[in-house]
Amino acid sequence: MNLENHTTESTPKALSPIAEKLMATIESEIKTDVIARHKINIISPSFPLGHRTMANRDALKIGPKEFQLISGKIYYTKSSLLENLRTYLAKS
């Protein structure tokens, strides 16, 4: 088998220049290391997914990997949220 032409799911697909700019904008808008899911679009108006969409993604187990449930609210780490968004944009 020729490994040069073999790709796996773990190989990240390159983002378009617009998607890279969107990622940079979102990263600069999010100032904290922990983000409340229900406030994600207030904290980052450029974030392309709504908090309800994120809740659906969590239910399907395709949301950010690092999160914490506190008093019935979901909180994500910034790094996990951005990694999940990058994966989502790469598939688009």
Q: Does 53 fall in a domain?
A: yes
DSSP letter at 37? G
Count of domains for the chain: 1
Question: 29-85: per-residue pLDDT in tens?
Answer: 999 999 999 999 999 999 999 999 999 999 999 999 999 999 999 999 999 999 999
Q: Does 4 fall in a domain?
A: no
Instruction: Give the C-alpha distances (Å, rounded to integers) separating 33 from 10, 22, 29, 80, 82.
Output: 25, 19, 12, 10, 11
- The domain in which residue 85 lies consists of 17-91
Q: How confident is the model at residue 12 (pLDDT cuts 50, 70, 90)?
A: low
